[in-house]
Structure 1
Amino acid sequence: MSELEQAIPLSRPESRTVPAVRSRRLSLHRLKLREQLLAYLFLAPSLVLFGVFLFYPLLQSVYLSLHSTDPAGRIAGFIGFDNFAALLSSGLFLKGIKVTAMFTLLTVPAGILVSLVLAVLTRHLLRGKRVFQLIFSLPVVMAVGSAAVIWKFLFHPTLGMLNYLLELAGLPPVAWLINPDTALLSVSLMTVWMNLGFNYIMLSSGLLGIPEELYESARMDGAGGSTLLRRITLPLLSPTLFFVLVVSVIGAFQTFGQINILTAGGPIDSTNVFVYSIYREAFVNFRFGMGSAQALLLFVVILLLTLIQFKWVEKKVHYQ
């Protein structure tokens, strides 16, 4: 150090900036903490609703699945994983999953395909477009119970409209809900119609997001209708199709209302989907432990199916 520096001590710049930096960091930390508290304050009503109607029932199901209940539905004792072992060894789980998987295969692809065809046909409809859109969207406003009652009259073996139309066509009547071979197909037909409104609205909205200039450019290059569908419509509509697929699969595995009203799981358990089996075990036989174990297994199955769809099916989705 030189004599001049010793005679006139100079203050270091960093010594003055350290307190300012610390003060700035403290203020930023307080601001961030205040924003987080404000965010949680706005989220509090939703978190309370989720806690009361989602998390608490989930924890209660876990608790009940580890206990046995008496005929009145009261807790009898802790049995661990015996409910799960009995459920898997009895074949009830596999049978319910098999019926539910068949129901899903009958409803999800058909529902998406019919809705896609209707959405594509009404996209370029010039006259009466709003009327057709209203008609195709009507099922979304109907309750499951009301729709099931209407279709129960349509499926009536002697007074139903469907068998009446078959007789007019010279065909024999069908025991829609009575025959085990046709019961699941009949309920699936009603479910496809009931889900038509939601699927149609979602796919129509997705089609509106596709620029018309792409179709005009492709037509100028000589592309036909099938080429436009394969090269433009389906790739650009794939995010909406993927969303509808995931929601439809989850909804199919949670189906209950139409099964309860139309067939009550019969005949011969041909329509005994997994959710109806849970209802029967818990609220008919008052075996809440077994019903809770089934509900948890169904949750695991739906979670795995959703993860599989996001892992493999989403690879075919074009987000740009």
Structure 2
Amino acid sequence: MSGIGYLSPALVILGVFLFYPLLKTGYLSAFITDVRGRAVRLAGWENYLDVLTSSTFLPSLRLTFLFALMTVPSTIVIALLLAVMTNRRLRGITLFRTTYASTMAVSAAAAAVMFRALFHPSAGAFNTILGMLGLPEVGWLTDPSLALISVALTTVWMSLGFNFLVLLGGLQSIPDELYEAAMIDGAGSWRRLVHVTVPLLSPVLLFVGIVLVIDSFQSFGQIDILTQGGPAGSTNLIVYEIYQNAFTRNEVGFASAQAVVLFLIVLVLTALQFKISERKVHYQ
């Protein structure tokens, strides 16, 4: 009983901010709601059928998958390279580690505002650099073919700090004796990375991959500040679509059904990652 007492504050917080909203979302997904989000008529599976036949849900889902493909592998590769570079006993290396990890202290809103300034068509640093190189200016956030890439670039930068720290911690847990044995066998830096580092780091890589996939499907703040789902719906990812249905169009029941479908999709993707990776992950 004493254990429950110690856990009760955390359980209350989780109940109020996690479990209750989850149950409420599932409940509202079966109802037609009014403009205040109150259930007025039982819809059963009607909302879910509307989701699957919606002209906006499936395109936003496709964009979300594309967004995940842009951000997840890029973040893992860059964070791993930074972790490998800083996993050395050198004077001043702590400064570099702190710099690379600093992005985790920046909120999504602050990062989006900063990148919005960098992406500005006339005064932004990116177009200024292009002008200095004699290249034409680019509409980073106004060109439908570039807007999603720009949001993905912002997201990769935002995600680097946390994933860099996790991967660096994983690297520091690998015994030095294994690298010494590989060097004696004549393995170069690349072979040591592929045949020693990556296999022994596979549990951490699996964790990082799962977290990044979930985060990519939940991206909202940077999209709301940078593009508001535009231009021409090119960055209307699934969570922003749910937000618009719930708080702009006041279709809370329909949006709740979309949220439940998103939850099931993320659950299936996570299970697939575990299933596909179980033979490739090596636990010490």
TM-score range (shorter-chain normalised) is: over 0.9
Single out whichever of 69-78 and 305-314 deviates more from structure 2.
69-78
RMSD: 1.3
**Residue equivalent to 2:59:** 95
1:64 pairs, out of 28, 38, 50, with 28
**Residue equivalent to 2:238:** 274
Single out whichever of 54-63 and 69-78 deviates more from structure 2.
69-78
1:241 pairs, out of 202, 205, 209, with 205
**Residue equivalent to 2:44:** 80
1:183-198 alignment runs, 5 A limit: 183-198=147-162
1:148 pairs, out of 101, 108, 112, with 112
Asked if 1:181 corresponds to 2:145, the answer is yes
Work out the CA distance in 1 between the residues paired with 2:190 and 2:243.
Answer: 46
Asked if 1:170 corresponds to 2:143, the answer is no
1:1-320 alignment runs, 5 A limit: 37-124=1-88, 126-320=90-284
Work out the CA distance in 2 between the residues paired with 1:72 and 1:131.
Answer: 51
Work out the CA distance in 2 between the residues paired with 1:302 and 1:260.
Answer: 21
Q: Structure 1 residue 161: deviation in Å? A: 0.4
Q: Structure 1 residue 48: deviation in Å? A: 2.0
2:33–2:252 contact (8 Å) kept in structure 1: yes
Q: Structure 1 residue 125: deviation in Å? A: 5.9
Q: 1:72 to 1:41 in 2, by over 3 A?
A: closer
Q: Structure 1 residue 162: deviation in Å? A: 0.3
Matched AA of 2:4: Y
TM-score (ref. length: structure 1): 0.86
Single out whichever of 116-125 and 133-142 deviates more from structure 2.
116-125
Q: Structure 1 residue 316: deviation in Å? A: 0.7
1:246–1:306 contact (8 Å) kept in structure 2: yes
Single out whichever of 61-70 and 180-189 deviates more from structure 2.
61-70
% identical aligned pairs: 49
2:166–2:204 contact (8 Å) kept in structure 1: yes
1:242–1:314 contact (8 Å) kept in structure 2: no
Listed one character per residue, the Cα deviations across residues 243-277 of structure 1 (whole Å, up to 9, x for unaligned) are 10010000000000000000000111110010001
2:147–2:231 contact (8 Å) kept in structure 1: yes
Work out the CA distance in 2 between the residues paired with 1:254 and 1:40.
Answer: 32
> Whose RCO is larger (CA < 8 A, sep 6+)?
2
Work out the CA distance in 1 between the residues paired with 2:202 and 2:26.
Answer: 37
Work out the CA distance in 2 between the residues paired with 1:74 and 1:211.
Answer: 58
2:57–2:241 contact (8 Å) kept in structure 1: no
Listed one character per residue, the Cα deviations across residues 169-198 of structure 1 (whole Å, up to 9, x for unaligned) are 111111000010000000000100110101
Matched AA of 2:233: D
Work out the CA distance in 1 between the residues paired with 2:51 and 2:185.
Answer: 61
Q: Structure 1 residue 214: deviation in Å? A: 1.4
Matched AA of 1:304: V
What 5-or-longer segments of structure 2 have no aligned partner?
none
Q: Across the two proteins, how many residue pairs are aligned to each other?
A: 284
Work out the CA distance in 1 between the residues paired with 2:38 and 2:198.
Answer: 54
1:67–1:75 contact (8 Å) kept in structure 2: yes
**Residue equivalent to 1:12:** none
Matched AA of 2:241: S
2:30–2:43 contact (8 Å) kept in structure 1: yes
Tell me, what secondary structure is at the counterpart of 1:76? strand
1:107–1:191 contact (8 Å) kept in structure 2: yes
Work out the CA distance in 2 between the residues paired with 1:305 and 1:161.
Answer: 37
Structure having the higher helix fraction is 1
Matched AA of 1:116: L
